[in-house]
Amino acid sequence: MDKARHSRVFVAIVALGMALLGLSACSTTAPDAAPAGDVPSSTPTDDLAWQQEQLQEKADELWNTVERQFPDVARPEAEFIDWSTAPALGGSEELRGCLNETSASEFSIEEREVAHYVCFVQYPVKPEYSTDDADTKP
């Protein structure tokens, strides 16, 4: 595969990751409309549990994208390292470094897709409540 095609695939992966991460900020449900389990309480422990749930949902969405392209690929272990700024805003230095390291032409498309999944899981954008929900947060 030529370098131009590799570049287009990489841009598509990054764009997809940015879109999924960007949607996370827009997809909060008003607390009165959500089931009780979806609304975090005001305690730090519950906020952490809510963030972890949001991170898992985003990781699952990202993995589903990879798995649709490569159904036989095994999902790698990936653990949170640090928060990143939104990729649309340039992402954190760590996220950019991770993506750059895994974009080398010696990797197959499948290897790059899996590696990029790991990068986005390791350096996610911190889920936050929308400002519309700030006054109604329990």
Counted residue by residue, the chain has a size of: 138
Does residue 89 have a pLDDT over 60?
yes
- List C-alpha distances in Å: 127 to 15, 52, 57, 100: 18, 9, 11, 24
- List C-alpha distances in Å: 104 to 3, 84, 117: 10, 22, 15
Domain assignments of the chain as residue spans, ordered by start: 3-27+45-128
- 70-98 mean pLDDT: 91
- pLDDT-derived band at 66, boundaries 50, 70, 90: very high
**Which residues have C-beta within 8 Å of that of residue 46, sequence separation ≥ 6?**
40
DSSP symbols for 41-68: -SSHHHHHHHHHHHHHHHHHHHHHHHHH
Give the tens place of pLDDT for each residue, 24-47.
444 333 333 344 445 444 565 677
- pLDDT-derived band at 59, boundaries 50, 70, 90: very high
